[in-house]
Amino acid sequence: MGYPHQPHPRETLVLSKHFGDAEARTLDGWKKRGGYKALEMALGMDPVAIQNVVKESGLRGRGGAGFPTGLKWSFMKIGDGKPHYLCCNADESEPGTFKDREIMRWTPHALIEGVAIGAYAIGAETAYIYIRGEFTEPIQRMEAALAEARAAGVIGKNAMGTGKTIDIWVHKGAGAYICGEETALMNSIEGRRGNPRIKPPFPAVAGLFGKPTTINNVETLAAVPHILNNGADWYKKMSRPDNPKSTGTKLWSVCGNIARPGNYEVEMGFPFGEFLHEVCGGALPGRTIKAIIPGGSSVPIITLEEAERGVMDYEGMVSVGTMLGSAGCIVIDSAQSMPKQIARLARFYAHESCAQCTQCREGTAWTTKILERIVAGDGTAEDLDTLLDIGESMTGKTICVLSDSCATPVSSGLQKFRHEFEALITRKTVHAVPTVVA
Amino acid sequence: MSHGPSASGGAVLKASHGHHDEPYVPVFTGDMRTKLDELIARYPTTQAALLPALWMLQDARGWVSEPGMAEVASLLDITPAYVKGVVTFYTMYHQHPVGKYFIQVCTTSPCNVCGAEDVVKAFLDKTGCGELGVTSDDGRYTVIEVECLGACGFATPVMVNSDFLESISPDTVPDVLKKYQ
Ligand SMILES: Cc1cc2nc3c(=O)[nH]c(=O)nc-3n(C[C@H](O)[C@H](O)[C@H](O)COP(=O)(O)O)c2cc1C
Ligand code: SF4
Ligand code: FES
């Protein structure tokens, strides 16, 4: 549902059905709503059989990359004699994204159940839920629910009386966007600086503590109990008839200049135009929407017209020149300066670069400097080409894709809103430059 | 680069009510020590308890001092220099004392387009801090801008110490401050 709003009739409530319902936060309340049946079923299944159901459902990672979840799980060799780990990625720091927060705040047991099933399915006895340090309330809700689940023997050394061990711990982050990148996250759990690691080796071979590891997003894991309860076919049906590659429901976080910001859950393939205007209430009174960043700040910016032609699934977003990403949909209207907002995004990436790679460390800083100069009215005609050149040298050349993510809004923004940059350069219209960020 | 509020970026935190000269009293004794041992048991290596241990230290003392880092280092069997290397990576560990109320306002684009910069101005104005990262003369407030707090649909989110506030506008800033005196 579009919490804090009432659910819209065109939403399909699976993950968000109990948002806003405080009773669902307790173990009893969760069980009353059908909770932990899937875990009970899962613990009686062969782990590989669970992997297969998830594979069959078509579930893909909701953290941004959209990697098929069942396939990822199948890389974990059950019975290889090594400890395995599951990391649940609750770092949620991609600007525009705030869905995992609501899952943890309202339905902590939904996540525990998903994590427990995921851990068992990959042969892990220990799972860590990595929650960003700023999420004080979600951390408290998760800790409370975990304590309840442990006390009731749902998880722990004898999970649901099956003799199987499933330990789940919260690991609290300490302020670093980059720790959402899976290998940086593992370093952060290990008590290190959150620098991404060079791959290979991939986490399934040598991940957390050097052991086979799977990393999944909160929303991905929260979807798993529903798939086990209702079957892969039920999940697969929630898709476009002509596109079996994107299945299920997706939580979209909608923010910025929109009438009703919030989280909305729709089936894959929902028409984007209807979503924006009907479900989210469209533009603010008297304003017009001009740009959309549909998948969190790292995906290409599109115009309203492009968005209106789009459908909301992985392929649908690609066909209008952008990506589904984390489905953190940022809406920008005509009252905003695109150069100023793109400069602000560049500053975000410059602040968050872990500084290991030269292209990223220098490129994000240089990009920010030029953009802020343009916004301040001191830009030159050459600046725009320089920005594109820097972007080019920042793309596809670094340990992780944070570097690419900084170049993306700049190149797509310049492509679609070049006139706004040129106007600043030729007419010297000055906008307030973002101030210092600590 | 990830850096604490005290690092580059122009804003320097003034240590207005620091405890720099007082003798260091260990944090991890009694219950705190028991709690740390419980945390260590959750991981296969002792070092993995570093972030949780630093959180405990900061929660107890308000910031992460050099002697505090040394205490954590000795308990986790790592060097103080290593601990410092980790502390400086993460923005949420304070390497200097901060105001009694540490106020963080998100100004990343999704909040920025909803007027987050005016919320920052209102806080700087009404707290008497005047400048980002500078603690007010009475030691009560420090205001900084932060990157996306993961609550973009509730613009503008603001953190006051560990309290997470939603939908703050310049108009509601005085009410917020009334609660944090
Ligand atoms: C810079 C960067 C930041 C990321 N931040 C997050 C994040 O906050 N949450 C998340 O789930 N995935 C994030 N990811 C993606 C993860 O690396 C990883 O692909 C994901 O957690 C895998 O889970 P999934 O397959 O369930 O999506 C980030 C990736 C990069 C490169
Ligand atoms: S691309 Fe940037 S954030 Fe990623 S590893 Fe390199 S320097 Fe760090
Ligand atoms: S941009 Fe402000 S909370 Fe995300």
Q: Is A221:A115 a contact under the CB 8 Å cutoff?
A: yes
> A219-223, A295-299, A399-403, A430-434 — which is least confidently predicted?
A430-434
Residue A438 clears pLDDT 80, i.e. is over it: no
CA distance readout (Å), A311 to A271, A318, A324, A416:
5, 10, 10, 20
Higher-confidence residue: B21 or A141?
A141
Q: Separation of A27 CA from ligand 2 center, angstroms?
A: 41
Q: Output the CA angle B79-B9-A436, nearest 5 degrees.
A: 135
Confidence of residue A428 (pLDDT cuts 50, 70, 90): low
- Other C-beta atoms closer than 10 Å to the C-beta of A318 total 13
Nearest by Cα to A315 from A377, A386, A240, A389: A240
- Calculate what percentage of chain B has a pLDDT beyond 90: 87
The residue to which tokens 């929303």 are assigned: A219
- The residue that leads in pLDDT, A13 or A434, is A13
Interface test with B, best of A82, A94, A98, A188 (most B CBs within 10 A): A98
Confidence of residue A432 (pLDDT cuts 50, 70, 90): low
Distances (CA, A) of B101 to A94, A378, B157, B180: 26, 38, 16, 7
Q: Which residues touch A223 (CB under 8 Å, ≥6 apart)? A: A14, A15, A59, A62, A114, A235, A248, A249
CA angle A236, A239, A242 (to 5 degrees): 110
Task: Identify the burial level of A347 via C-beta atoms within 10 angstroms of its C-beta, where 0-12 means exposed, 13-18 middle and 19 or more buried.
Answer: buried
Q: Do A135 and B150 touch (CB under 8 A)?
A: yes
Bond into B174 cis (ω within 30): no
Q: Are strands A328-333 and A311-312 parallel, antiparallel or unpaired?
A: unpaired
Q: What is the mean pLDDT of chain A?
A: 96
Note the pLDDT tens digit of each residue in A327-357.
999 999 999 999 999 999 999 999 999 999 9
What pLDDT was estimated at residue A163? Answer: 97
Query: What does the pLDDT average to over A43-72?
Result: 98
Asked if A125 and A83 touch (Cβ cutoff 8 Å), the reply is yes
What CA–CA distance (Å, rounded) separates B70 from A334?
53
Q: Is A107 near chain B, with CB under 8 Å?
A: no
To test the contact with chain A by mutation, choose from B113, B156, B165 the residue with the greatest count of A C-beta atoms within 10 A, namely B113
Per CB-CB distance under 8 Å, the chain A contacts of B52 are 171-172
User: Is there a contact between B90 and A194 (Cβ–Cβ < 8 Å)?
Assistant: yes
pLDDT of A404 > 70? The answer is: yes
How many angstroms separate the CA atoms of A210 and A277, rounded?
48
The whole-angstrom separation of Cα A435 and Cα A427 is: 23
B76-109: pLDDT as tens digits: 999 999 999 999 999 999 999 999 999 999 999 9
- With 70 as the cut, is the pLDDT of residue B11 above it? no
CA dihedral over A88, A93, A97, A100, signed as positive or negative: positive
* ipTM attached to this prediction: 0.95
List the single residue in A98, A167, A437 with the smallest CB-CB distance to B147: A437
By the 10 Å C-beta count (0-12 exposed, 13-18 middle, 19+ buried), B124 is classed as buried
Q: State mean pLDDT over A302-306.
A: 98
| pLDDT (0 to 100) of residue A131 | 98
The three-point CA angle A237-A242-A247 to 5° equals 35
Percentage of chain B with pLDDT > 70? 88
| Min distance B178 CA to chain A CA atoms (Å) | 22
- Per-residue model confidence (pLDDT) at position A385: 97
Report how far residue A222's alpha carbon sits from residue A112's, in angstroms, rounded to the nearest whole number.
8
Put simply, the answer to whether B51 touches A191 (Cβ < 8 Å) is yes
Closest-CA residue to A102 (of B2, B137, B109, B166): B166
Q: How high is the pLDDT of residue A398?
A: 98
Smallest Cβ–Cβ distance between B133 and the set A135, A136, A438 belongs to: A438
10 Å Cβ neighbour count for A230?
14
pLDDT at res. A5: 79
pLDDT score at B46: 98
Query: Hey, is the C-beta of A169 within 8 angstroms of any chain B C-beta?
Result: yes
Contact status, residue A423 vs residue A429, Cβ threshold 8 Å = yes
The candidate with the shortest Cα–Cα distance to B5, out of B81, B82, B63, B69, is B63
Question: Any idea which residue has 């069980």 for tokens?
Answer: A31
CB A216 near ligand 1, within 6 Å: yes
What percentage of residues in chain A have a pLDDT greater than 90? 96
Give the chain A residue nearest B117 (alpha carbons): A434
The shortest CB-CB distance from B117 to any of A193, A330, A432 is to A432
CA of A138 to the centre of ligand 2 (A): 28
Mutation choice for A interface testing from B8, B58, B63, B148 by most A CBs within 10 A: B148
Q: How confident is the model at residue B141 (pLDDT cuts 50, 70, 90)?
A: very high
Peptide bond into A68 cis (omega under 30): no
Q: Which residues of B touch A133 (CB under 8 A)?
A: 55, 90, 92
Query: A153, A194, A152, A149: which is closest to A174 by C-alpha?
Result: A194
Instruction: Please list every residue in chain A whose beta carbon sits closer than 8 Å to the beta carbon of residue B148.
Output: 93-96, 177, 297, 348
What number is the average pLDDT over the span A176-197?
A: 98
Question: What pLDDT does residue A10 have?
Answer: 97
Chain A within 8 Å of B106 (Cβ-Cβ)? no
Residue B16: the pLDDT is 41
Question: Does residue A362 register a pLDDT over 60?
Answer: yes
The whole-angstrom separation of Cα A337 and Cα B167 is: 22
SS (H, E, C) A109-174: HHHHHHHHHHHHHCCCCEEEEEECCCCHHHHHHHHHHHHHHHHCCCCECCHHHCCCCEEEEEEECC
The residue behind tokens 């502390």 is B87
Model pLDDT for residues B30-57, shown as the tens digit of each residue: 999 999 999 999 999 999 999 999 999 9
Return the SS3 of A36. coil
Note the pLDDT of residue A401. 97
| Count of all residues that appear for chain B in the document | 181
pLDDT at A2: 57
Contact A408, A396 (CB under 8 A): no
Residue A286's alpha-carbon distances to A14, A289, A436, in angstroms, are 34, 10, 32
* Cβ–Cβ contact B41 with A under 8 A: no
Report the half-sphere exposure of A52 (CA within 13 A, side-chain side). Answer: 5
Number of Cβ within a 10 Å radius of residue B77: 9
What band does B22 get if pLDDT is binned at 50, 70 and 90? confident
8 Å CB contact between A158 and A164? yes
Question: How far does the CA of residue A230 sit from the closest CA of chain B (Å)?
Answer: 31
Query: Which of the four pLDDT bands, split at 50, 70 and 90, describes residue B15?
Result: very low
User: If you average pLDDT over residues B108-120, what whole number do you get?
Assistant: 98
Mean pLDDT, to the nearest integer, of A21-40?
97
Q: Is B113 in the pocket of ligand 3 (CB under 6 A)?
A: no
The answer for residues whose C-beta is within 8 angstroms of residue B11's C-beta and 6 or more apart is A436, A438, B5, B131, B132, B133, B134, B144
